[in-house]
Amino acid sequence: AQKVTQAQTEISVVEKEDVTLDCVYETRDTTYYLFWYKQPPSGELVFLIRRNSFDEQNEISGRYSWNFQKSTSSFNFTITASQVVDSAVYFCALRNVVTGGGNKLTFGTGTQLKVEL
């Protein structure tokens, strides 16, 4: 069974601070995909990144960066110089590669990020 844990329920930071959102996953599969989605107050789900289990290279996209560590089953997300517009709920998700069951996303419970002035 797959499981995604986002232990931080809510984080509050002041604008321009860096913040890291933690994600720990469990899976028996050797091949899988990890995702991060953002859910702003308006409610839609916005895709941020997809990473496969064979690619442990960290990725940076503007103020966003992701640290994938297979050894600790973690896929953490860092926002540098946070802004008020970053305020949202962020979900980490896992998708396994198994015939007949390889298309479900298993989501964590989300981390509510509040960025204040």
Residue numbers of the site for another protein (CB under 8 A)?
A: 32-33, 35, 37, 42-47, 50, 52, 91, 93, 95-98, 100-110
Q: Which C-beta is closer to another protein: that of 19 or that of 89?
A: 89
The whole-angstrom separation of Cα 63 and Cα 79 is 6
Q: Which is nearer to another protein, 100 or 117 (CB)?
A: 100
Compute the least distance from the CB of residue 73 to another protein, in Å: 18
Q: Smallest distance, Å, CB 52 to another protein?
A: 6
Contacts of 58 (CB under 8 A, 6+ apart): 65, 66, 67, 68
| CB-CB neighbours of 35 under 10 Å | 19
> What region does 73 belong to: left with phi over 0, alpha with psi -120 to 50, or beta?
left
- The distance in angstroms from the start CA to the end CA of the chain is 41
Minimum CB distance to another protein smaller for 110 or for 113: 110
Q: Which is nearer to another protein, 7 or 14 (CB)?
A: 7
Rounded to a whole number of angstroms, the minimum distance from the CB of residue 102 to another protein is 4
d(CA 95, CA 116): 33
What is the closest distance, in whole angstroms, from the C-beta atom of residue 116 to another protein in the complex? 21
